[in-house]
């Protein structure tokens, strides 16, 4: 049974979805005005881990990640470049999609764009105006915090601290009360705007998420997840708008991922410690080492990203990969080793126990390392059966459906490697076994394992080439 920390209650709780067997989950997605940085990816990779684990324990997951493609930053970027907002945001959205693929983050079921959901936002704002929870000032519309007594139930922040937490827009000076926030911003000359029933203008940031989450997941859903900086005011505001609109509880579990800092300091361009995923890859780091580093700190702890840590992540990954290569080439015998089944069972138990405990990744990973240690001892001096090997590989494949760090499975191989495989086949047919074995060994060193089956040769890739 998964237990997870719920920011709303401030406690680790048993996770129970509204509908048995299915989880409805919403993620505040990127603002597509620039390349996403490794801090953003800490949060997205964590969300991926959570989603993959929910699937691992048997849930179907319906996942929505919104795309913020209209706000001050995207508008400014498009204006500076002299292109349309759409053209500008399309570019960064495509780069984001490439990046999440690089990090093996599973795609959401829906990636709704704010600019394509203006009608849904207008509908909510209209109801909020009718209910007296919102008011007009000039051409803008604000949410009236005093109409929602539960405000701050998520963040529990005292009013006196609010100023330092809140991102206050300069154009919001007309509000009745300082923490009232804008639902709709009146149109400005150099900004894109929409002509709607509530006037000409563009939506505020918070209303986007309420509209898009409720559209795809219903008025009450299971999980809402994002980085800790979103707790206040963004998520607090989402709750106020959504619950005032529907009269129902908005979300059952609010899950927040702590931040990433770099070499002990907040990441910032001016300090020169700001990295996008692409920056790290162009320095030669493997995406899977980056992913491993990002998942290996518990999500509620601050993650201190260092290059030393990244290099250790790379070494750990290589150790696991080397083990898999060794395993494939370990000596075989007919009879299975009964110890292996028990070791795998114990590792899976440890992995689940860790993950079930608020996604305690350190405990989960140590169960895997313990297994590798024990198996290494076995294959070093005792042969194992083909069935044993298969069981071990199946286990690693299963675990990797959650961690997504190992280069398992069949991939399309580069042409020259396919040529080597073919050459070996021909050598075998000619009964030139010396040559066939030489090629097999060469490929093994490259992390490609060949298996001769009745249906022909099969291969497994154990290393990113």
Footprint of ligand AMP (CB under 6 A): 28, 30-31, 39-40, 42-43, 226-227, 229-230, 259-260, 267
Q: How far apart are CA 404 and CA 290, in angstroms?
A: 12
Q: Taking the mean position of all CA atoms in its chain, how far away is CA 377? A: 35
Strands 3-6 and 11-14: antiparallel
Give 89 or 337: the residue with its C-beta nearer to ligand AMP: 89
The burial class, CB within 10 Å (0-12 / 13-18 / 19+), for 355 is buried
Interaction of residue 61 with Zn ion, rule CB under 5 A: no
Say if residues 211 and 121 touch (Cβ distance below 8 Å). Answer: yes
The residue at minimum Cβ distance from ligand AMP is: 227
Alpha helices in 296-337 (DSSP H): 307-329
From residue 199 to residue 228, what is the string marking binding to Zn ion with x (rule CB under 5 A)? ----------x-------------------
Q: Which is nearer to ligand AMP, 28 or 64 (CB)?
A: 28
Closest distance to ligand AMP from the beta carbon of 229 (Å): 5
Q: Tell how far CA 431 is from the center of its chain.
A: 50
Choose from Zn ion, ligand AMP, none: what does 30 bind? Cβ within 5-8 Å by kind.
ligand AMP
Query: Do the Cβ atoms of 261 and 233 come closer than 8 Å?
Result: no
Chosen from ligand AMP, Zn ion, none, partner binding at 420 (C-beta under 5 to 8 Å by type) = none
* Preceding amide of 233 cis, omega within 30: yes
Check if the beta carbon of residue 410 is closer than 8 Å to that of residue 324. Answer: no
Question: Which residue in the set 28, 75, 240, 368 belongs to the binding site for Zn ion (CB under 5 A)?
Answer: 28
Which one, 28 or 367, has the nearer CB to Zn ion?
28
Chain positions 153 to 192 lying near Zn ion, rule: CB under 5 A, are: none
- Counts for the chain of helices (H) and strands (E), in that order: 15, 15
Indicate which of Zn ion, ligand AMP, none lies near residue 210 (CB less than 5 to 8 Å, by partner kind).
none
As measured in angstroms, the least distance from the Cβ of 28 to ligand AMP is 5
- 186 makes contact, choosing from Zn ion, ligand AMP, none, with CB < 5 to 8 Å by partner type, with none
Query: What pairing do the DSSP bridges indicate for beta strands 60-65 and 134-137?
Result: unpaired
Residue 209 binds which of ligand AMP, Zn ion, none (CB < 5-8 A, kind-dependent): Zn ion
Q: How far is the CB of 68 from Zn ion (least distance, A)?
A: 8
Query: What's the CA gap between 446 and 436, in Å, rounded?
Result: 16
- Restricted to residues 281-320, the positions that interact with Zn ion (CB under 5 A) are none
Closest to ligand AMP by CB, 76 vs 444, is 76
Residues whose CB is less than 8 angstroms from the CB of residue 67 and which lie 6 or more positions away in sequence, other chains included:
29, 30, 32, 89, 93, 111, 112, 113, 114
Part in contact with Zn ion (CB under 5 A); list of ranges 28-36, 45-53, 76-84, 311-319: 28-36
């Amino acid at each position: 049974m998964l237990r997870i920390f719920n920011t709303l209650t401030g406690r680790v709780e048993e996770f129970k979805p509204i509908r048995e067997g299915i989880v409805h989950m919403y993620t505040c997605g990127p603002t597509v005005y620039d390349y996403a940085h490794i801090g953003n990816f800490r949060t997205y990779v964590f969300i991926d881990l959570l989603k993959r684990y929910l699937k691992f324990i048997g849930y179907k997951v319906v996942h929505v990640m919104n795309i913020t493609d209209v706000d001050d930053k995207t508008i400014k970027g498009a204006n500076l470049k002299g292109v349309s907002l759409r053209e500008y945001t399309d570019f960064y959205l495509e780069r984001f999609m490439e990046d999440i693929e690089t990090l093996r983050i599973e795609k959401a079921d829906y990636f709704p764009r704010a600019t394509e959901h203006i009608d849904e936002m207008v509908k909510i704002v209209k109801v909020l105006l009718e209910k007296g929870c919102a008011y007009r000032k000039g051409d803008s519309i604000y949410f009236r915090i005093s109409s929602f007594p539960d405000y701050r139930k998520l963040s529990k922040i005292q009013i006196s601290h609010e100023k330092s937490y809140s991102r206050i827009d300069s154009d919001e000076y007309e509000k009745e009360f300082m923490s009232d926030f804008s639902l709709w911003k009146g149109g400005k000359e150099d900004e894109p705007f929409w002509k709607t029933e509530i006037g000409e203008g563009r939506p505020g940031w918070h209303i986007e998420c309420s509209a898009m989450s409720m559209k795809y997941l219903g008025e009450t859903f299971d999980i809402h997840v994002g980085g800790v900086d979103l707790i206040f005011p963004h998520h607090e505001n989402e709750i106020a708008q959504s619950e005032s609109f529907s009269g129902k509880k908005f979300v059952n579990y609010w899950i927040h991922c702590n931040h990433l800092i770099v070499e002990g300091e907040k990441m910032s361009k001016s300090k020169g410690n700001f990295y996008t995923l692409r920056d790290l890859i162009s320095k030669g780091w493997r995406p899977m080492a980056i992913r491993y580093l990002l998942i290996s700190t518990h999500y509620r702890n601050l993650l201190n990203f260092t290059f030393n840590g990244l290099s250790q992540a790379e070494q750990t990954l290589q150790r696991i990969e080397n083990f898999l290569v060794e395993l494939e080439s370990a000596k075989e015998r007919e009879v299975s080793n009964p110890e292996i089944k028990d070791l795998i069972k114990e590792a899976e138990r440890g992995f689940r126990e860790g993950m079930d405990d608020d996604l305690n990744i350190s405990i989960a990973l140590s169960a895997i390392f313990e297994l590798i240690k024990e198996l290494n001892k076995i294959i070093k001096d005792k042969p194992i059966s083909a069935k044993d090997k298969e069981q071990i590989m199946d286990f690693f494949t299963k675990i990797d459906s959650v961690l997504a760090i190992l280069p398992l499975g069949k991939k399309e191989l580069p042409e020259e490697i396919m040529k080597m495989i073919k050459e070996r086949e021909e050598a075998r047919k000619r009964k030139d076994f010396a040559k066939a074995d030489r090629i097999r060994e060469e490929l093994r060193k490259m992390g490609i394992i060949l298996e001769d089956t009745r249906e022909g040769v099969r291969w497994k890739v154990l290393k990113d080439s």
